[in-house]
Structure 1
Amino acid sequence: MSSPAVARLEPAQCSYTYFRQHHLLPNTPCLFPRTLVERWPLLSRWLDKHGNLDWNHLEDQYGALEVTCIDLAPVADEPAPSTFASLLHLWRRGDGRAKYLKDWHLPLAVFRAGERDVKGKGKERVRDEVYEVPDVCLDDWLNEYEGDEGAGRRDDFRFVYVGGGDTFTPLHRDIYSSYSISTQIYGSKRWYLFPPSCTPSLRPLIVAAERQGSSVNCDAWPDVLKADFRAQGMLVVEQAAGETIFVPSGWFHSVHNLSHPTLSLNHNWLNSHILPAVYSALAYEAARCREAVDDVRDMLVEQARREGKGEDGWRREWEETVDGLVERSEGWSWPTFWRMTLNTLSNLDVSTSTLAERARRSRWPPVPPEVRPSVAFVVSQVRPLVDDFCAREEQEWRWLDGLDRVLEEVEGELERLAM
């Protein structure tokens, strides 16, 4: 019996409709062919006509940008790069094999440079110099929310990963239990992918590694352990230059660079298809944080009792403490989750001109209706979460500043969309 394999899509299967039916809804991984990205400007700018890295162009264009690398195996007398140019110099002479530039916000840096040169042209600069977001991942609630320049939001979930030949990303699950998509620009990688059903078997390995101050390297596993996880559904695939891999929500994965160096363009994203899973992951983290600082709650309750203040004397401070801990742990918390949801709902079922106007102040392009599921589907995904959140024993909506108003607006948008 042959091992299961990651689906490799044909060019005709690269439409949003096909992707949604066969991979978003069932939450299964796939590899897109080069045709998905063949028109990206970076392919002719970052690579020469033979498909090799254009070292000179990369240094001229981005060399002055500051970078922070991790070093998996420091080499004596090998300098720590402080700029992209210094990292390129190491790699160009064959050194720096253990240095890894991860989560580099290069698209955001290009956007900022475009805005400095000509106000309002940052998005065009990214499109003309780097890439245009494929339709299959354009329905992205994270980047659509965080990309609102008019609201002063500064985050971005689009990254460049550039790693030496001896680097890897340890076993992990993506932030917010989101999707991720990664296009290999140069070199190749090996991916180990684990469906959510493997999570109970993986957690003890991760915890044990963390206790030792290390991480899980799937490439180093003995054959018997790899065979055991294959039997549980683990998939292993090698990704070549030009291919784009889709990693579903909740799938743990480990990524190993096979060439020196490698370069990829990634981003994390989420939408209505996985909103219940994202909500559950946030609820789990909130519960974990509550348990971790339960002694603080006891102190606040006792202080309020002595002062005769009752629940109002401790509950708000307690909920703000938990919310702050979740924010530090996860990078967001309930207020951001619901504001993101409100932002997306307000962009549904509105005129094209309204979408275009809102997109003018955003780093994210407008999302046309044809690359989103139906309004009814989105409402059906959001409504149960609102009901569940309002019924939670913790009543965060009552104690966290402004969250009650956000939920009222979410309710209003759901009513508008249901009419």
Structure 2
Amino acid sequence: MELPRDPIVYGPELIEDWPAFENWRIIESSSSTSTTRPDFNHLRSHYGHHVVQVANTKRRQFNEFERTERPLKDVIDSWVAGDAEGDGLYVKDWHLALQLEDEGGKQEDFYKTPEIFQGEYPLNTYYNGYTDDWMTHHALSLDPRNDYRFTYMGPKGTFTPLHRDVYGSYSWSSNIIGRKRWWLIPPAIKHRFHKHAGPHGPGEPEMLFDLRELSDQDALDGVVIIEQAPGETIHVPSGWYHQVENLEFCISINHNYANSHIIRNIYDNLLASLCRVEESIADILPLLKQRLGSEKAFSFTDGESREDIFCWEVEWVDEVQKVLEMDAGWALAVFWDMVLYNLEVSDRSSPPAPPELRPADDYVASQILPIIYDYKNRREWKVLGDTRATVLKAEAIVIAMQNDI
């Protein structure tokens, strides 16, 4: 099942039976109008003790906003009081489902993954797998306290600056309450929104922070602008930069996910981040060469060829990978571990999604083999021995997939 390559908006039927849609809202009706507002008393009594990530959208910090961690009850109190700080506070990346699971609850206590994005088999006791979701399945296998299921909550005027979803993944976002405005940039025109015009290095260039600050709003020609109503769900394709503004007080539930359809996108995005890291710390490379000189670390053998790998090169690659993991959230080792895990899990008795919701083996092989061959031409293939072993295991599985066809 291949998901749309353009943004798509689904109606309220996807989420109208969610407990959150019933319990988190207060609907006030009169003879002529109906208004909806958040039920802060319910949210405070059920989740107020949860510590959440809070972005202060009035205080910019580099390419993001100042972030703190606070109990949700304190944030709600600030919103209810209507104080100046509260107007800019936006609860983001709140792992509510995981926190409930820690307390003996489950995701279904407040929502369930819409069927269009959901597989039939559970990954574990709590989490119903998506349609062939490689990211969350792998994340939960490493750490049951880490996933890509998020709750967002913030008043009118709070917003998320222009960005591309983590690793270039897909995402979907369902509005429980409030209206949002989305600016979605097709990949073919993203170059128009680089922060600095002109040529740039091999890494992904820095993007504009806030599209509303463009002096020439005609520059938005070709950008998809959507006003998302309460109850609607939007699906964002891989690679689409987007910015989101809350037009009213909004609560949304969001997922990021990925699969073999976009594994090349994710690989390329990771390499772009790697290039950016190399550029940012390039000043240490001459120092490493000067300090370690021609000291040999080991010899790499590939068939009949043999090549010496030097200590400065090992230290350089290791340092780049450490910074890459801090910058992008993962490094090459984690990426290839994700690929191997999801190739292996397809052969297990409880795969993350049933066969009819996963691509055929020959399709998966056609997506994975090219990036394996590309990686084998990179220097990291020779230097990172543990990752090389992971890639070789993945290659063996993919070749076996082809042979079984």
TM-score bracket, shorter-length normalisation: 0.7 to 0.9
Q: Deviation at 1:409?
A: 1.2
Equivalent residue letter for 1:295: D
1:100 aligns with 2:86: no
Once the two structures are superposed, what CA deviation does each residue of 1:121-158 show, in whole Å capped at 9, x if it has no partner? x6xx112333235442612211010012xx44542111
Q: CA deviation at 1:87?
A: 1.9
Output the CA distance in 2 between the equivalents of 1:215 and 1:384.
Answer: 32
Letter in 2 for 1:145: H
The aligned residue for residue 117 of structure 1 is: none
Please name the residue that 1:236 is paired with: 225
Deviation at 1:379, TM superposition (A): 1.3
Letter in 1 for 2:210: N
Separation (CA, whole Å) in 1 of partners of 2:114 and 2:328: 25
Alignment of 1:9-408 (within 5 A): 17=1, 20=2, 23=4, 27-48=5-26, 52-73=37-58, 82-95=70-83, 96-114=86-104, 125-132=106-113, 134-136=115-117, 138=130, 139-148=132-141, 151-152=142-143, 154-204=145-195, 216-222=209-215, 225-230=216-221, 233-259=222-248, 261-305=249-293, 311-348=309-346, 350=347, 354-355=349-350, 366-392=352-378, 394=379, 396-408=380-392
In 2, Cα distance between the equivalents of 1:152 and 1:227?
46
Q: CA deviation at 1:280?
A: 1.0
List runs of 5+ in structure 1 lacking aligned partners. 1-16, 75-79, 115-121, 208-213, 357-365
Q: 1:36 to 1:163 in 2, by over 3 A?
A: same
CA contact (8 A) 2:173 2:234 kept: yes
Letter in 2 for 1:97: D
Secondary structure of the corresponding residue to residue 204 of structure 1:
coil
Equivalent residues of 1:180, 1:267 under 8 A apart: yes
Alpha carbons 2:295, 2:310 under 8 Å: kept:
no
- 1:27-67 deviation digits (Å, cap 9, x = unpaired): 21111111122332322232346654222221111011123
Contact 1:206–1:215 at 8 Å: present in 2 too?
no
Question: 1:322 is aligned with what amino acid?
Answer: V
* 2:365–2:399 contact (8 Å) kept in structure 1: no
Q: Could you tell me whether the CA contact under 8 Å between 1:41 and 1:131 is conserved in 2?
A: no
Kept in 1, the 8 Å contact 2:53–2:93? The answer is: no
For residues 308 and 145 of structure 1, the distance between their equivalents in structure 2, rounded to whole angstroms, comes to 36
Per the TM alignment, residue 253 of structure 1 is displaced from its structure 2 partner at its CA by 0.9
2:381 partner amino acid: W
Instruction: Say whether the 8 Å CA contact 1:37–1:134 is kept in structure 2.
Output: no
Gaps of 5+ in 2: 29-35, 60-67, 119-129, 199-206, 298-307
Q: How much has 1:338 moved relative to structure 2?
A: 0.5
For 2:55 and 2:7, the matched residues in 1 are separated by 28
Does the C-alpha gap of structure 1 residues 205 and 251 become closer, same or farther in structure 2, counting only changes over 3 Å? Answer: farther
Q: In structure 1, what residue type is equivalent to 2:71?
A: T
TM-score by length of 2: 0.81
Give 1:186 deviation, angstroms: 0.7
Distance 1:206 1:217 in 2: 16
Count of aligned pairs: 356
> How far is 1:290 from its partner?
2.1
Structure 1 position 98, deviation (Å)? 1.6
Flag the 1:307–1:369 CA change in 2: closer, same or farther, 3 A. closer
How far apart, CA to CA, are the structure 2 residues paired with 1:258 and 1:244? 16
Q: Which moved more, 1:262-271 or 1:128-137?
A: 128-137
Identity of aligned residues (%): 33
Residue pair 1:136, 1:371 contacting (<8 A) in 2 also: no
Q: What is the CA–CA distance in structure 2 between the aligned matches of 1:370 and 1:416, rounded to whole Å?
A: 20
Query: What whole-Å deviation, never above 9, does each CA across 1:236-266 have from its counterpart, x for those lacking one?
Result: 110011111111111111111001x211111
How big is the alpha-carbon RMSD for the aligned residues of Structure 1 and Structure 2?
2.5
Q: Is the 8 A contact 1:135 1:371 kept in 2?
A: no
Q: 1:206 to 1:135 in 2, by over 3 A?
A: farther
What amino acid is aligned across from residue 192 of structure 1 in structure 2?
W
Tell me how far apart the structure 2 counterparts of residues 91 and 314 of structure 1 sit (CA, whole Å): 53
**Quick one: structure 1 residues 411 and 143, their matched pair in 2 at CA, closer, same or farther if it must change by over 3 Å?**
same
Counterpart contact for 1:190–1:236, Cα < 8 Å: yes
